[in-house]
Structure 1
Amino acid sequence: MSAPAPQQILTAEQMKAAEQWLIDAGETVESLMERAGSGAADWVWRLAAGRSVTVLCGPGNNGGDGYVIARVLAERGLFVSVVAPIEPKTNAAQTARSRWGGEVVEHASGDVLVDCLFGTGLGRPLSDELLGLLNNLSTGHALRIAVDLPSGVDSDNGDVLNDGLPEYDLTLALGAWKHAHWFMPAMARMGERRLVDIGVGKVHSAARLSARPSFRKPAPDAHKYSRGMVAVIAGAMPGAAVLAACAAQHGGAGYVKILVDEDCEPPAAPVDVVVEHGSLFQLVRDNRINAIVIGPGFGRSDAAMSRLDWILACDVPTVVDADALALLQPPMLEDRSLPIIATPHAGELEGMANAFGTVGLDRVEQAIELAEAIEGVLVAKGPDTIVAAQGSSLAVMPPSTSWLSTAGTGDVLAGLIGSRLATGVSPRLAAEQGCWLHAEAARLAGPVFTAGQLVEYVPDAFAALS
């Protein structure tokens, strides 16, 4: 570890090792607790704005952070109550409680609740007594802040360990982001999220929060072929291919066309989208094609299977989506030298796991293993999209609007990723950039849009990210 890495996302084990590295370098558990608690207290102070605060402290070091928060806020003049159903059990937490020096109360109501009951590392549900106390305190306060993590969630996978946990207005990650800060269902309960720096440096192989891209306009001497050509393969339901092609037109590539096999009906496409209808086996031989998108509306027939096998054998950078994911089999990739980008949603991810023998893993492990199995990039789509790439750290996409949960938006994403891939950026970067454009277009579109309307906002998203 070296310089601070604010975008990294750590497991509980990695966080423990990172803290130990700081201790080995001269810090103590008490000094780290003081730094974490004081940093969190700054955020609580701002949100409280002079109002009363109740701090719920647990028995471990997360509770110790709570005693530091209580002391710092009291020193600044706030009225602070501390509820501690269990005595502190670690030396550092005992020291923090002693330095606070106040009297614990059994219950309190007021303006701001600070949850320091349990943080990173919790692996079992809260007891009925603790859950009841947490919910009673929650309903008795207007604002709720979770320190490190809301009590009752698994830090490594975002699972909610108890039914009926409260929702928070603010969650303060201590030292580094944890997976639960960005994974459903826990993420939905956290409100705003802020990071409190305690000096943790870069951790090797840590996951990371995807960085916002910055797009540039084409070079002064650019032309349609130098900017990249995308071929979208149409199939049984060609409207989906049209959506993907229209999205690709706005993703940065210079030339987009739809290829339709002679056995399929050509789609009614906009006049500025080229449609080529004929022998697919001849159409894909165009050596000007820089990227292929296959799967949206493709169908799952035996003929579709043969077409997919042929397309993949052409060894062109390829985005594999939707129906093509259901048809994809390991032998189809054996002779390829160029990677594919697979874009499964949850159900398709399960199907890929069955096909590639990665059943029984959690979502993160499955994405990483599948990226290795396909020797490419896997975009596990959802409200907490992750991007796994062979040889790279896992990227977690910032959450996007839930209005994206409508038919056809996945086809739009496939087209955007294909367009970025055609421009010549790496497959991993193409996947992340496509996801950013997709999310930004949805944000700009506002509520209740169709997939076609989403495409119309892609140019504005491109501008916003330039």
Structure 2
Amino acid sequence: MTSRNHRLFTPEEMGLADRLSAESGIDSFALMERAGQAVAASALKHWPDALRFVVLCGPGNNGGDGYVAARALASAGAAVSVYHLGDPQGLQADAREAKQIWHGDLAPLAAYVPTKGDVIIDALFGAGLSRPVPDPVAELISAVNDLELSILAVDLPSGVSGRHGVVLGAAFRAARTVTFMSRKPGHLLLPGRELCGELEVFDIGIPQRILDRAGGKLFENHPDLWRHTLPALSSNTHKYRRGHLAVFSGGASHTGAARLSAAAGLVSGAGLVTVAAPSDAISVLAPALTAVMLREIDNTSSLQSWLDTAKLSAFVLGPGFGVGSKTRDFVRLLADRSVVVDADGITSFKDDPAELFTLFANGPTRLVLTPHEGEFARLFPDLAESEGLGKVEKAQAAAKRANAAIVYKGADTVIAAPDGRAFINTNAPPWLATAGSGDVFAGIIGALLAQGVPAFEAAAAGVWLHGEAANASGPGMTAETLIPHIPSAFDLLHS
């Protein structure tokens, strides 16, 4: 597989692909015909005993797909009823032609009374919806969802933003969704992902060369995108070549987070891992560490001395470290190094985020920030509050502003680079939402940075590996039991 298999198209990019196809001489109605036929085939395959297929057709090309699907279902002998939104005489181009060659029953949407046993083909809006659904549609959606009728969505369940995955007023909960050529962000971002049901992607015949011209920098996170950046072990590999990761610990009563990060870093391939801790934490940490080394670092003076004399490759700062001026002082000393700033490290800059961004503004990307929703709002309050931006756009804007790889965490984690690339992650199970899992995650990324993986690729790989390790751990996972499964996640990269 290649990166093409994982590319996501925004509704605007898919619209561009459609236009480029028409300009190249491809019959656009033939594309609509294939799309509608694919919808009908899916409906017949998954609901062969349906009493009636109810096709809801909207005022655009999504509705055109619906008219084609209705004709194909009727030709197969199925009972079909079609209901339209708006004036069907106002349909344009291909959608108008599709409606004209539908010779079955046709009634206004308001005439439809949801009935047990109906299988609904939702062809109202598709992926391009950008404003809340009209009130009559919202009322119908509520009635259909309450009856738990089976729904096959065309492109996306009506009411779900194809760009942002959010619900615009109300949305159908589909059992299945058929989309065309490529997935859209709304198929992967929440809550859209959960409203799509099973997703089918059907190739209607747009050439790859056109998709390559129309497509952007958004992908589903997958090893095909970053596997080539990971280090390969060879016979002359030694521990220093695999990098030295330093993890900073908090005081005596706050050492657990650093131990989790350090242990994760060690099994993720760092040749050496050292926990840097204040003097009062040394006696607590020493009995708990074996292969992980320990260094007493109390202040900026001792840190600077260590940086001047030791061969250190990457750093993790924040988990359990504490919020305040010491954290900011340590980050200043690490500004020319590869650093994962997480948790307390992020919060320490909430009063002046620009200071953090300025420290890493120049040169190649070497900072990885891993905020959850609340931490993101502390560093990027204007972006967090913007109603016009979705999660992907917020992460992209944050990455550019901070010159950092941004991991905007959540059940639909987004990883973004300053150059505009963004990945949406999909493999994380819900049981990752447990204390300490973020500390483990920071350690994985730190180890990859220590081995020379570029910041964005290290962040993307860390997210995916974290998710796969959690899947292997199972629902009873804790942060401690997650760590032994990290090597098996790496093994999947070579299977």
Same fold (TM over 0.5): yes
Is the partner of 2:74 in helix, strand or coil? helix
Q: Which residue of 1 aligns with 2:329?
A: 306
Give 2:339's match in structure 1, choosing from 318, 326, 329: 318
Contact residue 207 and residue 394 of structure 1 kept, 8 A = yes
* Rounded Cα–Cα distance in structure 1 between residues aligned with 2:296 and 2:3: 54
Q: Structure 1 residue aligned with 2:441, among 402, 409, 413?
A: 413
| Residue in structure 1 matched with residue 189 of structure 2 by the alignment | 183
* 2:208 is the alignment partner of 1:201: no
Runs of 4+ residues over 6 Å off in structure 1: 356-359
1:348 and 2:375 aligned: yes
Structure 1 counterpart of 2:99, one-letter code:
R
Task: Say which is worse superposed, 291-300 or 364-373, in terms of deviation.
Answer: 364-373
Contact 2:383 2:394 in 1 (8 A): no
Aligned to 2:278: 261
User: 1:440: how far off?
Assistant: 0.6
Alignment equivalent of 2:223, drawn from 188, 212, 217: 212
Aligned: 1:271 with 2:294: no
Question: CA offsets per residue over residues 18-65 of structure 1, 9 Å max, x none?
Answer: 211111111244222112222333333332245343322222211111
User: 1:90 matched to which residue of 2?
Assistant: 91
Instruction: Name the CA distance, whole Å, in 2 between partners of 1:121 and 1:323.
Output: 40
Question: Equivalent residue of 1:120, what SS?
Answer: helix
The offset of 1:311, in angstroms, is 2.5
| 3-state SS of 1:144 partner | strand
Q: What is the CA–CA distance in structure 2 between the aligned matches of 1:147 and 1:87, rounded to whole Å?
A: 20
1:149 Cα deviation (Å)? Answer: 1.0
Over 3 Å counting, the alpha-carbon distance change for 1:19 and 1:370 in structure 2 is same
* SS of residue paired to 2:131: coil
Structure 2 residue identity aligned to 1:194 = E
Q: Give the drift of 1:398.
A: 1.9
Distance (whole Å) between structure 2 residues aligned to residue 80 and residue 396 of structure 1: 38
Classify the secondary structure of the residue corresponding to 1:27: coil
2: CA distance, partners of 1:27 / 1:143? 34
Within the candidate set 234, 243, 247, 2:249 is matched to 234
Q: Is residue 102 from structure 1 mapped to residue 125 from structure 2 by the alignment?
A: no
Structure 2: unaligned runs, 5 residues or longer: 350-354
The residue correspondences of 1:320-399 to structure 2 (distance < 5 A) are 320-328=341-349, 329=355, 330-333=357-360, 339-354=366-381, 360=386, 362=389, 363-399=391-427
AA matched with 2:325:
D
Contact kept in structure 2, 1:261 and 1:280, CA below 8 Å: no
Matched residue count: 460
Structure 1 distance, partners of 2:11, 2:183, is 10
1:205-257, Cα deviation, whole Å (9 max, x unpaired):
34122223557862233222222221111124221111111111222222222
Asked if 1:224 is matched to 2:224, the reply is no
Structure 2 vs 1, CA of residues 156 and 357 (structure 1 numbering), >3 Å: closer, same or farther?
closer
Query: In the alignment, is residue 283 of structure 1 matched against residue 293 of structure 2?
Result: no
Contact 2:244–2:312, Cα closer than 8 Å, also in 1: yes
Matched, 1:39 2:38: yes
Root-mean-square deviation (CA), in Å? 2.7
Question: How far is 1:324 from its partner?
Answer: 0.8
1:119 to 122, 126, 139: 126
Which residue of structure 1 aligns with residue 352 of structure 2?
none
CA contact (8 A) 1:325 1:352 kept: yes
In the alignment, which residue of structure 2 is the partner of 1:433?
A: 461
Amino-acid identity (%) = 34
Q: Distance in 1 between matches of 2:404 and 2:361?
A: 12
Q: 1:392 to 1:232 in 2, by over 3 A?
A: same
Amino acid across the alignment from 1:218: L
The separation in 2 between residues aligned to 1:449 and 1:138, in whole angstroms, is: 34
Higher helix proportion: 2
Distance change in 2, residues 1:40/1:357 (3 Å): closer
TM-score, normalization: structure 1? Answer: 0.90
Q: Give 1:263 deviation, angstroms.
A: 6.3
* Alpha-carbon distance change, 257 to 42 in structure 1, aligned in 2, over 3 angstroms: farther
Which has the larger displacement, 130-139 or 247-256?
130-139
Following the alignment from structure 1 to structure 2, what is the Cα–Cα distance between the partners of residues 233 and 336? 24
Give the counterpart letter for 1:291 in structure 2. Answer: A
Instruction: Verify the 8 A CA contact 2:346 2:379 in the aligned structure 1.
Output: yes
Question: What letter is aligned with 1:219?
Answer: S
Tell me how far apart the structure 2 counterparts of residues 455 and 423 of structure 1 sit (CA, whole Å).
Answer: 19
Q: Give the direction of change, closer, same or farther, for the CA distance of 1:367–1:85 in structure 2 (3 Å limit).
A: closer
CA distance in 2, matches of 1:158, 1:102: 34
Cα pair 1:54 1:109 within 8 Å, conserved: no
Residue aligning to 1:10: 9
CA contact (8 A) 1:358 1:369 kept: no
Match of 2:218, as an amino acid?
A: A
Task: Report the Cα distance in structure 1 between the residues aligned to 2:384 and 2:85, rounded to whole angstroms.
Answer: 43
Separation in structure 2 between the aligned mates of residue 134 and residue 371 of structure 1, nearest angstrom: 37
Structure 1 portions without partners, runs of 5+: none
